[in-house]
Structure 1
Amino acid sequence: MRHTLRFPRLAASLLAIALLVASGGPSTAKPPTLSALFPPGAERGQSLSVKASGTFDHWPVKCWVDGDGLSVEPAKEKGVLSVVVAADAMPGVRWIRIYDRDGATGLRPFVVGPLPEIAEAEPNDDPRTPQRIGAARVTVNGRLAKKGDVDGFAVELKAGAVLVADVEANRRLGSPMDGVLQVASADGFVLEQDDDAGGLDPRIVFRAPADGSYLVRLFAFPATPGSDIQFAGGSDYIYRLTLTTGGFLDHAFPLAVPPGGPSKVSAVGPNVPGSGPDSALDIPPGDRPERLTLSHPRLAGSVQVRRVPGAVAVEVEPDGIDKAQPLADLASVSGRIDPPGDRDAYRIALKKGETRVFRLESRAFGLPLDAVMAVFDAGGKPLAETDDVGESRDPELRFTPAADGDFRVVVRDLHGRGGPRYAYLLGVISPEPDFGLSLAADLFELPPGKPAKVAVTIDRHEGFAGEVELHAEGLPAGVTSTTAVSRPGDASAKAVTLELQGSATAPPGPFRIVGRAVRGDHRERPARARIAGFEAETDRPWLSVLPAPAPAKP
């Protein structure tokens, strides 16, 4: 069968295409993307250029920083940022977001450190020609740029000097690497190796047996195992390697403080003095229970403590099961499993039918204890025991006494290990009705003429049956929001949606979603979103206000 070409229909199609082209067509511009920053950190007081890996249809872009002491501006060269770190900036992570008129990127971390910083210099794969480091008090910003890449660094040490070699990559920077760290002699004999001191990020504390040059080598496998049996690498395999014979923060002790005090806790770690100004960390004022990140201007690293309600105690040896240390109800105690094989026991008086949750944290503080927790009655009969909870290697045990009495809570390491780093925080908690709020994303778009819908999930704990009123705070100028009420017993009990509205000329920016209990103590909880690719969360999601389409040309 012969087909005839229908010229009128073809002409109409060509005319439509011509009009679409003449009017500029639908917008092909896409929001910027940001996959990595390199170098991923800098020393306090440093000004530098940082390469932003990603896509940027409009340059210059704009930059937003969550955290103090860091200024970020686009440089003239596309994909390069000008970064200035304040001289008094506290060490720690800042989060950077890039945005333009078509949207915004996800958050990426930038680390402020207290030590001088240098860049890794290739070639340094061959152990005979490593990159030579001057004084062992430096942070190296590097990249395992290709498969099979091994980065080597030579450091000079005196006999007895303690070198800390610490890698920040997977946990803080989101690098897809499972790092392996080695310290070797000048002739290549491996003296120490580590691959999991901090999750997938290794750390070695090495005491030099003699004066001489030592080789520090870093390589990696994929964080997500694959079929390849070889060292991994790529443009996103970035890391920060700290090499120092100076003080390095491993943890604070105690691991908890009550509201209103004390104002300082002890700094604990290699080469940290036992007394003097470098032995203590300042606690910021406040009375709200929260996790606090602490640092010191003259010590590498950062640590965390909890501000908790109730009494706070510290373990006192001996405290075996036959000499259990008294622990008040609803209190918290900081302890250590030290030496190996140690078992810490606490005696607590409980009432029949009053449920308590015994919550232990060690891995949450970056410490190696793989804790097992058990409850015994006064006669030594085991009543309950627990190890890991879900994906966490920190245990939590829910216990309801069948009768009034004294009970023993015993803590040990699953593998019988122990030492100064095997610290933990044990809390006694009365489960109370409460709620939490979460967002599925930390980035929302307000299209022209339409609202931005922000879905909020309400997690009701321990039978919380109150109403929760939700509203938005800190919205960009010209943007308004509806409110919502979550009520028990209907569809809003678990989720509600807020609608943000505004003109296309409104500026983009961060905001917050807050929920407030309508009755009772009127407690407030912010909505948090998981930062994509990281274990961190943010309570400051971003709103991009998209422009109206350009009018058709005549």
Structure 2
Amino acid sequence: MPYASPRSFVPFFAGLLSCLALADSASAQLPVTQLYALSPPGGRHGTAVDVTISSGTDLDGVKALYFSHPGITAVQKMSPPKLPQLAAEPIANQFTVTIAADVPPGVYDVRAIGTFGVSNPRSFVVGTLPEVKEQSGNNLREKAQAIELNTTVNGTADGNNSDWYKFTGKAGQRLIVDCWAQRIDSRMDATMELYDAAGKQLARSRDFNRRDPLIDFSVPADGDYFLKIYDFVYAGGGEHFYRFAMSTGPYVDYLLPPCGLPGTKGNFTLYGRNLPGGVPADGVTIEGRPLEKLAVQMDVPGDKPTERVPPGTLAKPDEAELDGFEYRFASPQGASNSCFIGYASAPVVLEQEPNDEPAKANVVTLPCEFVGEFGPRGNPDWLQFDAKAGEVYWLEAISERLGLPTDPAVLIQRVTKNDKGEEQAADITDFDDHGANVGGLSFNTTSDDGSFRFAVPADGTYRAMIRDLALNP
């Protein structure tokens, strides 16, 4: 059957991330191993890192950690024997984790294995930058922990306290401070603030990538600067962990088109910051910070749908159905953050501006995947197509499921002409949210994206208007 999927996208702040596995509480009376947090929650590929299970229940006899990538292995740490004739004893909940150099950066599952079975999964991040752990006693600016640029820091919110870090910047550097907490299963609602040596606040961020903050800072002058990080409600404990990378490397906010046909080489435009070879993206900003753009080519994997590995980052239940792959921009300054690129099921058609009026609708041929951007406020997008009676198309908007603060709505019209040759448009239907929840309370699949089965009533010309109700109520 013919298939059309008009998609409308807006610049996104983080790629699609891997789905949290949410399990119902066991009804049996026997205890079950539960893993809540590891410290640190990740490490650099090509290194070994000491890891402690910092929170969990029924951890009796835990002697192994199992990771979803075979290149990540763990060995329980041992204490020296108390007497020469005695064997070394395992240290409870402490492991040495070895990350092979060929493990791609990303988020992987880790499970604990103990007396009461295999635990639930938790996130373990593999990065590319040198890593350090938070040092105790850094709760005051005067005792800020010194860190180097292009480093990843692992820490834990103490509750009723803030963690302070000090770094040296040079005039003209553009620094990206990207904090991961909620996206890697932490309970922390992280907030970051940046200060100069005189104590003046220069930047602040809370919810940028979902509930995680990001600071984009252009260093105004050589000198020392201070980063403050804390939980928004000053909660703390082992389950309130975080990771942040302070980098001068590339950061990709979004790309167009955000999808490609499997097995093809596609042309894409990256929009982001610190893009080597990039040029200013005129008029494109996020939270007041200007973006750059860079044209790239990439191969879209052509593997079979049943063999596709989901991207290794957090996704909500309604996002888990999207098929795609993870992309990182490689540069001499290192790899960028990951971005989600969807697998298209039909030719991809990019929006051509202006198309904010019916008379300026972009003409497309079905089936296709129509890709555009929302904005500015009050600016809908129109597309037009011909169809024959009896044909059936699925029209689907995909935007909110990319983790975006959007609410797409679509109007379908039939276009005819009267006896005088004057154009007339009649509304056929409109659709908005997808209200079906197949997962219940524990896996809610409702979405602000909508879909509609369009059975063409007669030969002719049809139009679709898509707008964001969050921008254009």
**Shared topology, TM-score over 0.5?**
yes
Question: Distance between the aligned counterparts of 1:266 and 1:74, measured in 2?
Answer: 46
Describe the SS at the equivalent of 1:299.
coil
Gaps of 5+ in 2: 1-28, 79-90, 279-292, 309-322, 416-423, 436-444
Question: Distance between the aligned counterparts of 2:92 and 2:147, measured in 1?
Answer: 32
Q: Which residue in the other structure is 1:304 paired with?
A: 340
Question: Distance between the aligned counterparts of 1:411 and 1:153, measured in 2?
Answer: 45
How far has the Cα of 1:114 moved from its partner?
Answer: 1.8
How far has the Cα of 1:278 moved from its partner?
Answer: 10
Indicate if the aligned counterparts of 2:277 and 2:294 stay in contact, CA closer than 8 A. no
Q: Is 1:66 matched with 2:103?
A: no
Describe the SS at the equivalent of 2:60.
coil
Question: Distance between the aligned counterparts of 1:162 and 1:377, measured in 2?
Answer: 50
Q: Which residue in the other structure is 2:281 paired with?
A: none
Q: 1:311 to 1:277 in 2, by over 3 A?
A: closer
Letter in 2 for 1:196: D
Question: Distance between the aligned counterparts of 1:340 and 1:216, measured in 2?
Answer: 35
Q: Which residue in the other structure is 1:343 paired with?
A: 380
How far has the Cα of 1:326 moved from its partner?
Answer: 2.2
Q: Deviations over 1:198-228 (max 9, x none)?
A: 222222323334444333322224xxxxxxx
TM-score, normalised to structure 1's length?
0.61
How far has the Cα of 1:145 moved from its partner?
Answer: 2.1
Indicate if the aligned counterparts of 2:265 and 2:298 stay in contact, CA closer than 8 A. no
1:49-448, aligned counterparts within 5 Å?
49-53=50-54, 54=56, 55-58=58-61, 61-76=63-78, 77-100=91-114, 102-135=116-149, 137-146=150-159, 148-171=160-183, 173-221=184-232, 230-262=233-265, 265-274=268-277, 283-288=300-305, 290-296=323-329, 298-321=334-357, 322-337=359-374, 342-352=379-389, 354-378=391-415, 379=424, 383-390=428-435, 394-398=448-452, 400=454, 401-416=456-471
How far has the Cα of 1:181 moved from its partner?
Answer: 2.6
Indicate if the aligned counterparts of 1:272 and 1:278 stay in contact, CA closer than 8 A. no
Q: Which has the larger radius of gyration?
A: 1
Q: Deviations over 1:109-163 (max 9, x none)?
A: 111112222212233332344323222x2221111122x2222323333344322
Question: Distance between the aligned counterparts of 1:197 and 1:382, measured in 2?
Answer: 38
Indicate if the aligned counterparts of 1:197 and 1:203 stay in contact, CA closer than 8 A. yes
| Matched length | 378
Indicate if the aligned counterparts of 2:61 and 2:114 stay in contact, CA closer than 8 A. yes
Q: 1:376 to 1:149 in 2, by over 3 A?
A: farther
Question: Distance between the aligned counterparts of 2:109 and 2:151, measured in 1?
Answer: 23
Letter in 1 for 2:462: F
Question: Distance between the aligned counterparts of 1:213 and 1:341, measured in 2?
Answer: 44
Question: Distance between the aligned counterparts of 2:463 and 2:186, measured in 1?
Answer: 43
Question: Distance between the aligned counterparts of 1:279 and 1:186, measured in 2?
Answer: 40
Indicate if the aligned counterparts of 2:409 and 2:468 stay in contact, CA closer than 8 A. yes
Question: Distance between the aligned counterparts of 1:187 and 1:389, measured in 2?
Answer: 51
Indicate if the aligned counterparts of 2:33 and 2:114 stay in contact, CA closer than 8 A. yes
TM-score, normalised to structure 2's length?
0.70
Describe the SS at the equivalent of 1:75.
strand
Describe the SS at the equivalent of 1:144.
strand
Q: 1:268 to 1:47 in 2, by over 3 A?
A: farther
Question: Distance between the aligned counterparts of 2:426 and 2:166, measured in 1?
Answer: 56
Gaps of 5+ in 1: 1-27, 222-229, 418-554
How far has the Cα of 1:283 moved from its partner?
Answer: 3.5
Q: Which residue in the other structure is 2:83 paired with?
A: none
Q: Deviations over 1:428-487 (max 9, x none)?
A: xxxxxxxxxxxxxxxxxxxxxxxxxxxxxxxxxxxxxxxxxxxxxxxxxxxxxxxxxxxx
Question: Distance between the aligned counterparts of 1:356 and 1:177, measured in 2?
Answer: 44
Letter in 1 for 2:324: R
Q: 1:100 to 1:123 in 2, by over 3 A?
A: closer
Q: 1:315 to 1:73 in 2, by over 3 A?
A: farther
Q: 1:389 to 1:198 in 2, by over 3 A?
A: farther
Identity across matched positions, percent: 29
How far has the Cα of 1:48 moved from its partner?
Answer: 0.9
Q: Deviations over 1:306-327 (max 9, x none)?
A: 1132212222333323322223
Q: 1:244 to 1:280 in 2, by over 3 A?
A: farther
Describe the SS at the equivalent of 2:339.
strand
Describe the SS at the equivalent of 2:246.
strand
Question: Distance between the aligned counterparts of 1:412 and 1:74, measured in 2?
Answer: 55
Q: Deviations over 1:416-439 (max 9, x none)?
A: 49xxxxxxxxxxxxxxxxxxxxxx
Describe the SS at the equivalent of 2:176.
strand
Describe the SS at the equivalent of 1:37.
strand
Question: Distance between the aligned counterparts of 1:189 and 1:393, measured in 2?
Answer: 42
Q: 1:133 to 1:90 in 2, by over 3 A?
A: same
Question: Distance between the aligned counterparts of 1:161 and 1:408, measured in 2?
Answer: 48
Letter in 2 for 1:395: D
Letter in 2 for 1:88: D
Question: Distance between the aligned counterparts of 2:44 and 2:239, measured in 1?
Answer: 21
Indicate if the aligned counterparts of 1:184 and 1:191 stay in contact, CA closer than 8 A. yes
Question: Distance between the aligned counterparts of 2:394 and 2:197, measured in 1?
Answer: 52
1:383-532, aligned counterparts within 5 Å?
383-390=428-435, 394-398=448-452, 400=454, 401-416=456-471
